[in-house]
Amino acid sequence: AEDYKAQFELEQITHYFSSSLAGKRSEDEIVSDVAARLISSLHYEDCIIYLWNDDKTRMIQKAAVGPKEEEDLIRTSSFDVLPGQGIVGHVMNTRKPLLVNDTSKDPRYRVDDRFRLSELTVPVIHNGELLGVIDSEHSEANYFNDRDVKIMTTIATLLGNKLKQLESEHSLEAKQIELAGINGQLAEARLSALQAQMNPHFVFNALNSIKRMILEGENDTASRYLSKFALMIRMTLEHSKETFVTLHDNVQYLKAYLEMERLRFDQNFTYLIDVDESVEDAEISLPPMMIQPLVENAIWHGLMYSDAEKKLKIGFVVVSNRLRCVVEDNGIGIRQSEELRKKSRPFHRSVGLENLRKRISIMNEKYKTDCTLTITDLKEMNEEDGGTAAVLEMNIITA
């Protein structure tokens, strides 16, 4: 009968504390409520709840409740506890409840507002992680018993569950805010893509990859790629107003673009951009977005369908006073790519290359660049590895 009575009492207390904690939305609200209800419902004289500081080197007093005449003193006498320091510090180390029936005989006892003879201290643990400590005292010796240990341990478990629930909710809210920002940037990027004629599929794939990183907690990586993407958008908009931009700016744009495209392959392709000394020594300019469509074509129509190690090389060199750019991949080659396209997307046209050829025609007519584009299937040239080489040549234009 006594066991049944004790169990019933524990269930009532559990329900009482659970119901009270249900509506609490902040850490301060939670710990203050638990401390106050321990005093009011169990008639302890004082209760202090400690939680870790930011770097988890010590615990700090987060809630303190005591007799009416001593409440102000308890609140203003804030305690910090290091692991191993006093009875609370001992529980931090052992992670086990500790009942001290006579603190006058225990050298670990630390006096706060006044000396009390009984102390009961229990750890707040969630899934093996120490979150805090609940410490209660009473002026009478031998005041606490095994019943109190069981009740306090149960309440500590409820407190740990609630604190972790709150942490998860705050983390989810932060991710939702972050995602809202990403979605806003996605909407802006859609507009930018239309204005600057960026491939919208690339825009959506890039931002969706970044969104996935945030959901998976890879915030640093997501931030890094978001910066690269922002650089691309900025350069695209700036370059769209210019007829010619420096080769250096073109190369920087290509690097950012290639890093974003690597996300599609989970970093499973390598690239090399080789700028010959003959090019570096000259202040060469060329129309913006002339090389990127060739790189995009190599990735989407060559490397994407290759099972081999994916490699891409972009080279710039001056030959006979003309700038030559070679974009070479070890993908499936033009012929096989064309066959796949006819089977899967018979009415699809390569808009990027089509637009590039139109631009070449206009540039040649208006600026006498004498630009040429040649695309070769390397397998047809008896190259063992196969792939595609796109060669763009034009008269040198200095900045």
Q: Which of 98, 99, 139, 135 is closest to 115 using CA atoms? A: 139
Query: CB 161: neighbour CB atoms within 10 A?
Result: 16
- Cβ-proximal residues to 201 (8 Å cutoff; 6+ apart), any chain: none
At 222, which CATH number?
3.30.565.10
DSSP state of 371: -
Examine residue 30 and state whether it is found in any structural domain, yes or no: yes
At 114, which CATH number?
3.30.450.40
Judge if 147 and 225 occupy the same domain: no
3-class SS of residue 133: strand
Query: CB 40: neighbour CB atoms within 10 A?
Result: 10
Q: Which of 42, 17, 43, 41 is closest to 31 using CA atoms? A: 17
Sign of the dihedral through C-alpha 136, 32, 152, 15: positive
Q: What is the 3-state secondary structure (H, E, C) of 270-317?
A: EEEEEECHHHHCCCEEECCCCCHHHHHHHHHHHHCCCCCCEEEEEEEE
Residue with tokens 């073109």: 250
> What tokens appear for 67 in the block?
């007799």
Judge if 231 and 319 occupy the same domain: yes
Examine residue 171 and state whether it is found in any structural domain, yes or no: no
Judge if 269 and 391 occupy the same domain: yes
For the chain, how many structural domains are there in total? 2
Phi, then psi, of 343 in degrees rounded to 5: -75, -45
> What tokens appear for 368 in the block?
């006498």
Judge if 351 and 259 occupy the same domain: yes
**Residues of the domain holding 208:** 197-398
CA distance to 86, 100, 189, 227, per residue, from 185 (Å):
53, 59, 6, 12
- The C-alpha R_g of the chain, in whole angstroms, comes to 34
3-class SS of residue 104: helix
The one-letter amino acid code at 144 reads F
Judge if 348 and 227 occupy the same domain: yes
Residues making up the chain, counted from first to last: 399
Q: Which of 276, 399, 268 is closest to 326 using CA atoms? A: 276
Judge if 226 and 158 occupy the same domain: no
Judge if 249 and 131 occupy the same domain: no
pTM of the predicted protein model: 0.49
Examine residue 201 and state whether it is found in any structural domain, yes or no: yes
Judge if 153 and 204 occupy the same domain: no
- Cβ-proximal residues to 273 (8 Å cutoff; 6+ apart), any chain: 251, 254, 255, 314, 315
List the chain pLDDT tens, one digit each, 399 residues. Answer: 566 666 767 777 777 788 878 878 889 999 999 999 888 888 888 899 999 999 999 999 999 988 754 555 455 566 889 999 999 999 999 999 999 999 999 999 988 768 899 999 999 999 999 999 999 999 999 999 999 999 999 999 999 999 999 888 888 888 888 777 766 665 544 433 434 456 777 788 888 888 888 888 888 888 888 888 888 888 888 877 778 889 999 999 999 899 888 876 766 789 999 999 888 766 899 888 889 889 998 988 888 888 888 999 999 999 998 999 999 999 888 888 888 777 765 544 566 788 788 888 878 887 788 999 999 998 877 766 789 999 999 998 876
The one-letter amino acid code at 319 reads V
Q: How far apart are CA 392 and CA 394, in angstroms?
A: 7
Judge if 91 and 157 occupy the same domain: yes
